[in-house]
Amino acid sequence: MKVIYLDLATGRVASETGISVFDLMENNWSCDCNRGSVFEGYEKPQKNICAGAERFIVIDVEVEAELGFDGYTKDEILREANSDYYYKLKNFNNNKNGNGEFCE
């Protein structure tokens, strides 16, 4: 599956391929530790310390024939992949000015 991420801190978009539904929803790609690795310049936290679910949300997924969606719909995958990011998503629009640009 191809996964497209949005960096809530910078507004940049990046993608990664070959991720399974399980990994995205419940395993290594379910938090910022691995999601951040697809963004140039992101510094991963120290070994054995989770970065949590603060910065990198899934904005789209595309099927790759060899992996598929494992019986889930696209909406179900997006909802579950971002479920730990609820607070950040709820307040996402409050972090942008009227021009759609990100504010500090």
- Does some domain include residue 32? yes
- Does some domain include residue 101? no
Q: Rounded mean pLDDT of 9-33?
A: 93
- Does some domain include residue 72? yes
pLDDT tens-digit series, residues 46-75? 777 888 888 999 999 998 666 568 888 888
The domain of 62 spans 2-95
Domain count, the chain: 1
pLDDT tens-digit series, residues 32-50? 989 999 999 988 777 778 8
Instruction: List CB contacts of 52: < 8 A, sequence separation 6 or more.
Output: 31, 32, 84
- Does some domain include residue 26? yes
Share of the chain above pLDDT 90, in %: 45
Backbone conformation region of residue 68, classed left if phi is above 0, alpha if psi is from -120 to 50, else beta: left
pLDDT for 101: 47
